[in-house]
Chains A and B, each alone.
Chain A
Amino acid sequence: MQRSFLAQNPSVMWFLAALGLFTVVVTLLAEGTGTALISTSFVKTLGKVLCLCLIAIAMDVVWGYCGILSLGHFAFFGIGGYSVGMWLMYARTEAIVETSMASSVIPPTSAEVQDAIAAQIFGVVGASEFPMIWMFSHSLVLQLLMVVLVPGLLALVFGWLAFRSRVTGVYLSILTQAMTLALALYLLQNDSGLRGNNGLSGLQNIPGFDDVPQSTISMVFFWASAAALGAGYVLFARVLSGKMGSVIRAVRDDEVRVRFLGYHVESYKLFVFTLTAIVAGIAGALYYPQAGIINPTEVAPIASIYLAVWVAIGGRGRLYGSVIGAAFVSLLASWFTGGGAPNINLGVYEILWTEWWLVLLGASFVAVTLFFPGGIGSLFDRLKGDAK
């Protein structure tokens, strides 16, 4: 069975091989584990790109294969990040508070420790008590469970409501965008219990590993991200192969006909929507410890639209296409906005890429949609065609 799956999907083998090669190369060149040709911050960037590739695959499955243009998957990504960030922030603050209290004459009670942690974390929003949603933040296991459960349940409920009443097409896109906006606005409030505008910070410091240098931690997260990406790729390739994959694709192409053939379209859509939301949450949980900070702007609707942009440029309906799109566009973006691209002096006007990059992105995006709907991924199809 396993053999036939891989035989049917040669791209999976190719992808895993490429990912493995990439991981080995980066490991050999990295500061923490190899020849230090790649700086720690760039390792982090690469690790983050791998997480973005993972959510891009999820987006590709839900949009490219199932035809649901969700503008809300970055919300699930953010929820994953917040869930793991809560534990990171709690545990780290706890360590700091316990160190500072250790010197006092009398050992602190647990209530005193709690109060000190709460004051430390929520001082910026003028609160000093733990809100309800932090009740599990002391436990890594429970928070990791929340990484999976909260996006999953939210997607399940939202999807059930939306698919049940046959909201489709652009309506569904706008509804998911509304959901994202609602979440972002909720997180922006100071009394939401998640530090409002300030977000959660200091996430790059892993509690209990204070002695381990960032160069090593970054490598561990890089490997974890690579492993998650590989696993996610195999998982989705698996889901999309066989009969179930055919039904999912059929839903994309003609939902009404699939329903008339006796399939329960809503269940398939709900399954895909929820599964991809969970994967997005996991990607977020891996991404934000590498980014170090999460705040509500990360969840804003625009982020989810960019996600759609990556997938469209990379090529919808091909898992590797979305990976290429996410990696290509996000790396290009950091190259342009980071001042890496040389500015072009036209004599009368100098094009500063930090200012003009978005114009270029917007225009090239229109061009891709118009003239190159297959995206970068379709280049591989042409290669295959030539080979034959």
Chain B
Amino acid sequence: MEGTYRNSTEVGSLGGVPIYMADVVDACLIGRLNLFLQGDTGAGKTQLARDAMGYFPGKNTFVLGRNDLDVRELFQQINLGKLRTAKNTGELKEVTSKINNHLTVVDELPNCVPAVRAQLFNMFDGYIELNGVAYPIGKGYSVGIATGNIGQKFTESSNELGRALRDRMHVIVDVDYFHPTPSDTLEILAKDTNLRVDFARKDEDRSQDIISRNKSLALQPIPLEKIIIANYLIHGLDYCSKGSKRKMKDNWPTELEDHEQGSDVGLILPISTRAAKSIVMLSQSFDQIVKEKGGNPEAFESMMQAFRFVAPYSGILNEAEVHKNDKYAGNHYDAVDAVISTTTTQFSEQGDNIAAGYEMVRNGEKDQRILDRFTKRWSFMKDTLSGLAKKVKEE
């Protein structure tokens, strides 16, 4: 991404290529993943979002979140003032279909009242909702970036805003953990002392490039390894001595066995299917960006990088453990890194069995000798491989 934002802190690496915060934003745009940037005032969130708007000149909407902003004013801002005069659904559709808005940026989203927030989330997803009817906007591509400073505990289940963010934002990043380096801040300060975010500069329209990359990404086959990893995160992380963490509901993690309390079993819940889709899409986007930089991304590493950006604030971590355990000291990324470490070990140990499972699938026949290799947190592979073998046989 080209723009005013400067941050050369490596937020990860993939295929031998470093990943920066700007790459995360690019990956979200290519993958059409809604992004929430959490962080302190002055951390550069708004500038980062502003730079993303530069890809879509004239096809973006910037909303400054205020608690007195109402839905009517919001619609007027995106040239939907005519909605009130539309006589029927057909006219409404005509008005909304003309909205060529690909990117919605909301600065300080938490300031908005829930009704406005809901419509903004809808706009991120490419529609507005009127009287229970969804009207598409954005002509097939729309995505949202929101910013806010709401503290680390916003993902706790009692927090209404936290729930809404978890439901509607695909990627939530706390930029405070990826602060610009001293040389970045030197460059920022040396350039000028303007305290305001630069909205005035002229941008080259790169919307078609982003949209076509998104379309090609959606058509690409997803490597089987990524599907297996996603299934591990959905089902493997669900395993515990009581059977299923999901089914334990509020009894997780307090009623786990002692030996599970200190492991990833007591640290993280399984991801949702929706989060799994976000991880796969973000991983695919990262791969594309890294390949363009000359890197050679590997599926497992790529999925773990994507998991690292989707999981920390998705509400699946044991918040009490993250805060009380000295290893994490409140750092969600350190906690997810611990889960990634265990996952890496798990996949290394199961390498032979998974490879053998692939061959069983190729043969198109269930083989109990292979399936029996998968027990406990790996039990999900029995059904996964059996289903794939059946599919191969049918084809």
A binds B: no
Interface residues of B (CB under 8 A from A): none
